[in-house]
Amino acid sequence: MTAADRCDRCGAQAYVRVVLLSGGELLFCAHHGRKFEPELKKIAAEIQDETERLTAVPASEEER
Ligand SMILES: [Zn+2]
């Protein structure tokens, strides 16, 4: 996902992509991804969760 991907609910940067069993696709921010996760698991063929990127330390920072 890129910074251009936006949450369908609030317009924040998306970190969760949900591919639906019906063939559609939904994007959610970390907040809404967590909020709707129980529902999404029932209808999703695949859930791509990149919320760990929110807390990950960039490689360039790690060496300091
Ligand atoms: Zn959101």
Question: pLDDT tens digits, residue range 13-64?
Answer: 999 999 999 999 999 999 999 999 999 999 999 999 999 988 766 666 665 5
Query: CA-CA distance, 16 to 51, in Å (whole number)?
Result: 7
Distance 54 CA to ligand 1 centre (A): 14
Distance 26 CA to ligand 1 centre (A): 11
> Could you tell me which of 35, 32, 36, 29 has the C-alpha nearest to residue 50?
29
Amino acid 56: pLDDT: 67
Distance 64 CA to ligand 1 centre (A): 33
Query: Are residues 14 and 34 in contact, defined by beta-carbon separation less than 8 angstroms?
Result: no
Distance 7 CA to ligand 1 centre (A): 5
